[in-house]
């Protein structure tokens, strides 16, 4: 990004809007409500609206937007469903929010190849509803009904990454509109390739700072013959984490293994009208054949018993499982409901799993010492956990305590060979930690990649590595 | 790469050698035998030796080599074991072959985290011998006892990628010496991250053109409780491929599923003193619990029966399995032995699995029409296969027929949404196909990445995207 970038002048905005409205008619929108809704809305990060929102319907539309942006030197910020949590879609330098939510076509399902080609506005729930009758599913599940384009852009993962990987592992190829308006395919549809630099992985996780993702080829999986879900409690978070480590080492192919601390369980019980025991809790899911799942369950149970597990509850019926996982996905909202009117910010650190219990323990002591309300949920099989401290925005002491706490969580994770974000991404919120995590030379390398792909700094400026 | 790059002058070479010998003593070698051995030796690609070979012992050594190279503007070509097949380690512009084979330390095994940190000269067999007593293994197996550094640099995969993925999926982090002499870590040891551009995947598969990989953090797996291997024959290649598709769609977690055509089976029988039935053959391996493997085997067998499979042979004993897989790994040498003194070049295309049978069928017709000897082996679960046409280098007609055939294989794969290389990489041999595969805009993007990371074109010039 040119160091000199500022919001465009009113004259430039007027010219850009006029040009976009002549191209897109009422799909180029400038109402304040729509612009604010296309900036960041979910956490305590400030709302910084774009100057105009364009609802694209095709790759050609995206190319046209890019050309207008380049002609007037204004930013383009790709937008999916707006469910990102670190200010990814904010427009600190104004410009054009390029909304891809109308690009919802599922272009081709290749059942024999276990892949699908979709437009970026397809959401994960839409995709899975479409696939269900074919016996196929797309596993990545960040909780929110995010768009596939946004999930690719943020390298999303979620509850079943422990078994199926993250978006990094499940994107085969992308179509991308580059900042210069050219359209590329990052790879062919073959399952693997060694033909050149990995352009696919360059764009997965690039958070709209390198180009606009306009088409995604994803790996699919057959819907497992048998699925079983369960919950069980542990005396301590460390016991739950240790049981998880042994289960994974043993090779039990857990599909999901999620930790909720007792505070989060309380919040979930209240919000989702459940009556889970208010202790450190694992939510589990097993995928496989009937016999395979039965064996996995038996093996996991034997391991869990060694770590003092109790209160086993099974949910083999689809509706019970759905209720359980919906409650897990609503954990964020359940936590927010603990203090109506307050704001929360979900932290998102990830450490080597061997350090997870220690990291969570220290975090819980920190919460206690700080007098915060801060439930914890964790993708414990990956060493990834979220803490959601709540703050009263009208109380400066509450705000200061929360912000200081958030910083300490990251410092603690980095000290344990961890990362400042396991899955939410950098956006604006985590930029300040990148130098500590990667070091100056690696960060400079990232900046040089950005400079190479987007020399004029048109794509989502003020995010990621700058 | 500067368009003007030429081999360095004798004076420059003398100065570089003097400086390296003062730094490294007898670890800086200029004998013709060693230099030729550090260029390409395995196929019909010409041998282009470097000016000097340095045997590095540490990251600091690699930094020192890079600084000497930069000071004198001569290339650096990282070297592992030299088992690459597309001229990756050739030195068309001379310079320094940076041999990492003495960097063989296994720095840390983190059993709880299922990862290991190694130096680049560690080979996959060395690593697995080291890990065996811990009940752990590193799955990626390209056949040759390649170095981990080389495997990362070429995005290697091999026989069990169908279950465990490729190097892209199994590298957690890299330490890299950049062309400017700075040392970076591409990521932390956490299992997943969304903290910035994916520098790890930028270097995996970059074939030494962006930097020197000096340390690798790899995912490990527990050694399966039960392993069973088998062979079975099919009436046609298409039947074998169709059975594979159904097995994978059904979710059978095949660890290995390898196709040999009848010509390759004949070659293997002769070379490895086996008596496999000389028909299209699948070599299979199943990993899991005792009960799980039994169930997988039963399910696969039911599917295979539907496609006319016969001659099932089981190898549950470790020594029988080793013999079988050694024979598979020797397929290259077995093929070469069909015509002693001739040279071969292994093609390496990968197509969507739904097109695999069609692609192999057309290739076999082409072989017949061309009068070539060209056995076929395939990582059929990934849609990746190798054809090894043999040519008499003293017969211009034989050479011409082989080269034309190799071009047609790639064209055929590209026409089927495939790639010109599934796992061997680009090196020098596949450069000419990159534009057809990726398109000019994507290739220009690759060139701009190269320019950003290595603006002076010091790293392995004349390879990959140029």
Tokens representing A188 are 């062919």
CA B274 – CA B462 distance, rounded (Å): 42
Nearest by CB to residue B169, choosing from A115, A169, A421, is: A169
| A446/B295 touch (CB, cutoff 8 Å), yes or no | no
Contact assessment for residue B41 and residue B90, using Cβ atoms and an 8 Å cutoff: no
* Size of chain A in residues: 466
Q: Does B370 touch chain A (CB under 8 A)?
A: no
| A249/B196 touch (CB, cutoff 8 Å), yes or no | no
Nearest by CB to residue A421, choosing from B193, B441, B452, is: B193
Instruction: For residue A350, give every residue at least 6 positions away whose Cβ sits within 8 Å of its Cβ, in sequence order, or none.
Output: A382, A383, A384, A385, A413, A418, A419, A421, A422, A423, B190, B191, B192, B193
- Strand, helix or coil at A210? coil
- Asked if pLDDT for residue B197 goes beyond 50, the answer is yes
Q: Exposed, middle or buried, B266 (CB in 10 Å: 0-12/13-18/19+)?
A: middle
Instruction: For residue A92, give every residue at least 6 positions away whose Cβ sits within 8 Å of its Cβ, in sequence order, or none.
Output: A48, A428, A461, A462
Contact assessment for residue A194 and residue B205, using Cβ atoms and an 8 Å cutoff: yes
Q: Read out DSSP for B160-221? A: THHHH--HHHHEEEEEEE-TTS-EEESS-SSS---SSS-HHHHHTT-TTSS-EEEEEEEE-E
SS (H, E, C) A50-70: CCEEEECCCHHHHHHHHHHHH
Contact assessment for residue B209 and residue B169, using Cβ atoms and an 8 Å cutoff: no
Using a CB-CB cut-off of 8 Å, the residues of chain A touching B184 are 438-439, 441-442, 445
Nearest by CB to residue B112, choosing from A166, A353, A425, is: A353
Contact assessment for residue B300 and residue B309, using Cβ atoms and an 8 Å cutoff: no
Domains and CATH numbers, chain B: 106-222 (3.30.465.10), 226-332 (3.30.70.2190), 334-424 (3.30.70.2740)
Q: Does A350 touch chain B (CB under 8 A)?
A: yes
User: What are the helix (H) ranges across B229-355?
Assistant: 237-249, 262-272, 290-306, 318-329, 331-336
Q: Residue A109: beta bridge partners?
A: A116
Neighbours of B276 (CB within 10 A): 21
Using a CB-CB cut-off of 8 Å, the residues of chain A touching B111 are 249
Q: How far is B439 from chain A (nearest CA, A)?
A: 7
Q: How far is A315 from chain B (nearest CA, A)?
A: 22
Contact assessment for residue A216 and residue A117, using Cβ atoms and an 8 Å cutoff: yes
Query: What's the pLDDT at A206?
Result: 98
* Size of chain B in residues: 466
Using a CB-CB cut-off of 8 Å, the residues of chain A touching B248 are 114
Q: Rounded to the nearest 10 degrees, how much is the dihedral formed by the CA atoms of A367, B190, B213, B460?
A: -100
**CA-atom Rg of chain A in angstroms:** 22
Tokens representing A21 are 């409205």
Query: What's the pLDDT at A1?
Result: 44
| A445/B422 touch (CB, cutoff 8 Å), yes or no | no
| B113/A195 touch (CB, cutoff 8 Å), yes or no | no
Q: Nearest-5° angle of CA B98, CA B99, CA B104?
A: 130
A–B: how many Cβ contacts below 8 A? 285
| B442/A111 touch (CB, cutoff 8 Å), yes or no | no
| B354/A433 touch (CB, cutoff 8 Å), yes or no | no
pLDDT (tens digit per residue) in B435-448: 999 999 999 999 99
Contact assessment for residue A70 and residue A456, using Cβ atoms and an 8 Å cutoff: yes
| B184/A464 touch (CB, cutoff 8 Å), yes or no | no
Q: Read out DSSP for A429-442? A: TTGGGHHHHH-HHH
pLDDT (tens digit per residue) in B414-430: 999 999 999 999 999 99
Q: Does A175 touch chain B (CB under 8 A)?
A: no
| B112/A245 touch (CB, cutoff 8 Å), yes or no | yes
Q: Does B201 touch chain A (CB under 8 A)?
A: yes
Per the listing, tokens 């409780």 go with B225
Residue numbers of A between 402 and 431 with CB closer than 8 Å to B: 413-414, 417-426, 430
Q: How far is CA B258 from CA B164, B309, B410, B432, in A?
A: 14, 14, 21, 29
Q: Considering only CA atoms, which of B95, B313, B67, B340 is closest in space to residue B179?
A: B67
Q: Which chain B residue lies closest to A439 (C-alpha atoms)?
A: B184
Tens of each residue's pLDDT in chain A, 466 residues:
445 799 999 999 999 999 999 999 999 999 999 999 999 998 999 999 999 999 999 999 999 999 999 999 999 999 999 999 999 999 999 999 999 999 999 999 999 999 999 999 999 999 999 999 999 999 999 989 999 999 999 999 999 999 999 999 999 999 999 999 999 999 999 999 999 999 999 999 999 999 999 999 999 999 999 999 999 999 999 999 999 999 998 899 999 999 999 999 999 999 999 999 999 999 999 999 999 999 999 999 999 999 999 999 888 788 888 888 888 888 989 999 999 999 988 999 999 999 999 999 999 999 999 999 999 999 999 999 999 999 999 999 999 999 999 999 999 999 999 999 999 999 999 999 999 999 999 999 999 999 999 999 999 999 987 7
Using a CB-CB cut-off of 8 Å, the residues of chain B touching A424 are 194
Using a CB-CB cut-off of 8 Å, the residues of chain B touching A249 are 111-112, 114, 222
Using a CB-CB cut-off of 8 Å, the residues of chain A touching B249 are 111-112, 114, 222
User: If you ran DSSP here, which 8-state letter would residue A115 be given?
Assistant: E
Q: Residue A183: beta bridge partners?
A: A177
Q: Which chain A residue lies closest to B249 (C-alpha atoms)?
A: A222
Query: What's the pLDDT at B1?
Result: 44
Report the pLDDT averaged over residues B62-80.
98
Tokens representing A306 are 């060694």
Query: What's the pLDDT at A3?
Result: 53
| A201/B202 touch (CB, cutoff 8 Å), yes or no | yes
| A250/B110 touch (CB, cutoff 8 Å), yes or no | no
Neighbours of B106 (CB within 10 A): 15
Q: Which chain A residue lies closest to B425 (C-alpha atoms)?
A: A194
Using a CB-CB cut-off of 8 Å, the residues of chain A touching B165 are 169
Report the pLDDT averaged over residues B63-70.
98
| Nearest-10 crossing angle of helices A356-370, A237-249 | 160
CA B363 – CA B453 distance, rounded (Å): 39
Contact assessment for residue B322 and residue B299, using Cβ atoms and an 8 Å cutoff: no
Q: Exposed, middle or buried, B275 (CB in 10 Å: 0-12/13-18/19+)?
A: exposed
Using a CB-CB cut-off of 8 Å, the residues of chain A touching B250 are 222
Q: Does A38 touch chain B (CB under 8 A)?
A: no
Neighbours of A391 (CB within 10 A): 24
| A190/B248 touch (CB, cutoff 8 Å), yes or no | no
Q: How far is A432 from chain B (nearest CA, A)?
A: 11
Using a CB-CB cut-off of 8 Å, the residues of chain B touching A155 are 193-194, 198
Q: Exposed, middle or buried, A26 (CB in 10 Å: 0-12/13-18/19+)?
A: exposed
- B/e letters for A400-419, b = 16+ CB within 10 Å, e = fewer, are ebbeebbeebbebbbebbbb
Neighbours of A60 (CB within 10 A): 12
pLDDT (tens digit per residue) in B379-410: 999 999 999 999 999 999 999 999 999 999 99
Q: Which chain A residue lies closest to B423 (C-alpha atoms)?
A: A194
Nearest by CB to residue B190, choosing from A288, A383, A445, is: A383
Q: How far is A25 from chain B (nearest CA, A)?
A: 30
Residue of A84, A197, A199 for testing the chain B interface, max B β-carbons within 10 Å: A197
User: Model confidence at B204, in pLDDT bands (50, 70, 90)?
Assistant: very high
Using a CB-CB cut-off of 8 Å, the residues of chain B touching A165 are 169
Using a CB-CB cut-off of 8 Å, the residues of chain B touching A183 are 441
| B422/A190 touch (CB, cutoff 8 Å), yes or no | yes
CA B55 – CA B232 distance, rounded (Å): 46
Q: Report the DSSP pairing between strands A310-315 and A256-260.
A: unpaired
Q: Read out DSSP for B292-304? A: HHHHHHHHHHHHH
Q: Say what percent of chain B tops pLDDT 70.
A: 99
CA B407 – CA B415 distance, rounded (Å): 12
pLDDT (tens digit per residue) in B345-365: 899 999 999 999 999 999 999
CA B39 – CA A128 distance, rounded (Å): 50
Using a CB-CB cut-off of 8 Å, the residues of chain A touching B426 are 194-196
Q: Residue B288: beta bridge partners?
A: B226
CA A117 – CA A130 distance, rounded (Å): 13
Residue numbers of A between 98 and 137 with CB closer than 8 Å to B: 110-115
- Strand, helix or coil at B82? coil
Q: Does B219 touch chain A (CB under 8 A)?
A: no
Q: How far is A76 from chain B (nearest CA, A)?
A: 19
Query: What's the pLDDT at A323?
Result: 84
Contact assessment for residue B77 and residue B51, using Cβ atoms and an 8 Å cutoff: no
Instruction: For residue B40, give every residue at least 6 positions away whose Cβ sits within 8 Å of its Cβ, in sequence order, or none.
Output: B46, B47, B48, B82, B84, B87, B88, B89, B90, B427, B428
| B434/A384 touch (CB, cutoff 8 Å), yes or no | no
CA B42 – CA B87 distance, rounded (Å): 9
| A166/B421 touch (CB, cutoff 8 Å), yes or no | no
| B168/A201 touch (CB, cutoff 8 Å), yes or no | yes
- Give φ, ψ of A132 to 5 degrees: -55, -45
- Asked if pLDDT for residue B152 goes beyond 80, the answer is yes
Query: What's the pLDDT at B317?
Result: 84
User: Model confidence at B4, in pLDDT bands (50, 70, 90)?
Assistant: confident
Q: Considering only CA atoms, which of A366, A365, A355 is closest in space to residue A408?
A: A366
| A110/B352 touch (CB, cutoff 8 Å), yes or no | yes
- What sign does the CA torsion over A166, A169, A170, A173 have? positive
| A251/B442 touch (CB, cutoff 8 Å), yes or no | no
pLDDT (tens digit per residue) in B116-145: 999 999 999 999 999 999 999 999 999 899
Q: Considering only CA atoms, which of B73, B71, B26 is closest in space to residue B53?
A: B26
Per the listing, tokens 């079943």 go with A160
| B185/A250 touch (CB, cutoff 8 Å), yes or no | no
CA A374 – CA A49 distance, rounded (Å): 29
Q: Does B433 touch chain A (CB under 8 A)?
A: yes
- Give φ, ψ of A396 to 5 degrees: -55, -35
CA B67 – CA A415 distance, rounded (Å): 31
Contact assessment for residue A20 and residue A68, using Cβ atoms and an 8 Å cutoff: yes
CA A176 – CA A453 distance, rounded (Å): 12
Contact assessment for residue B417 and residue A191, using Cβ atoms and an 8 Å cutoff: no
């Amino acid at each position: 990004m040119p160091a000199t970038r500022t919001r465009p002048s009113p004259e430039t905005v007027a010219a850009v809007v006029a040009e976009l409205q002549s191209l897109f008619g009422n799909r180029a929108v400038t109402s304040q409500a729509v612009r604010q809704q296309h900036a960041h809305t979910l956490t305590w990060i400030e709302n910084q609206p774009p100057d105009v929102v364009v609802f694209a319907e095709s790759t050609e539309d995206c190319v046209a937007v890019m050309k207008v942006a380049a002609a007037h030197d204004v930013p383009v910020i790709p937008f999916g469903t707006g469910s990102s949590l670190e200010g990814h879609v904010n427009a600190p330098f104004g410009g054009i929010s390029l909304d891809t939510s109308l690009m919802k076509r599922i272009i081709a399902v290749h059942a024999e190849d276990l892949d699908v080609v979709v437009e970026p506005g397809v959401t994960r729930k839409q995709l899975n509803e479409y696939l269900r009758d074919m016996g196929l599913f797309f596993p990545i599940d960040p909780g929110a009904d995010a768009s596939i384009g946004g999930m690719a852009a943020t390298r999303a993962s979620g509850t079943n990454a422990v078994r199926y990987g993250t978006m990094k592992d499940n994107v085969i190829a992308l179509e991308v509109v580059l900042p210069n308006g050219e359209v590329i395919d990052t790879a062919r549809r073959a399952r693997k390739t060694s033909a050149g630099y990995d352009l696919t992985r360059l764009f997965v996780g690039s958070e709209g700072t390198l180009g606009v993702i306009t088409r995604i080829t994803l790996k699919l999986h057959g819907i497992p013959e048998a699925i079983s879900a369960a919950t069980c409690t542990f005396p301590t978070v460390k016991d739950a984490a240790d049981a998880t480590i042994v289960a994974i080492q043993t090779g039990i192919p857990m599909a999901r293994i999620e930790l909720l601390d007792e505070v989060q369980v309380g919040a979930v019980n209240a919000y989702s009208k459940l009556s889970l025991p208010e202790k450190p809790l694992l939510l589990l899911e097993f995928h496989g054949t009937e016999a395979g799942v039965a064996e996995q369950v038996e093996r996991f149970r034997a391991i869990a018993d060694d770590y003092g597990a109790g209160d086993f509850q099974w949910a083999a019926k689809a509706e019970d499982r759905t209720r359980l996982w919906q409650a897990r996905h609503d954990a964020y909202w359940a936590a927010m409901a603990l203090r109506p009117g307050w704001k929360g910010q979900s932290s998102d650190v990830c450490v080597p799993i061997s350090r997870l219990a220690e990291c969570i323990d220290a975090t819980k002591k920190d919460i206690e010492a700080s007098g915060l309300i801060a439930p914890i949920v964790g993708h414990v099989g990956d060493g990834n956990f979220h803490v959601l401290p709540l703050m009263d925005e009208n109380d400066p002491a509450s705000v200061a305590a929360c912000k200081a706490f958030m910083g300490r969580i990251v410092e603690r994770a980095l000290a344990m060979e961890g990362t400042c974000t396991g899955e939410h991404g950098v956006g604006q919120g985590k930029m300040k930690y990148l130098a500590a995590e990667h070091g100056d030379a690696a960060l400079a390398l990232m900046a040089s990649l950005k400079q190479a792909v987007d020399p004029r700094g048109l794509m989502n400026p003020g995010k990621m590595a700058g």
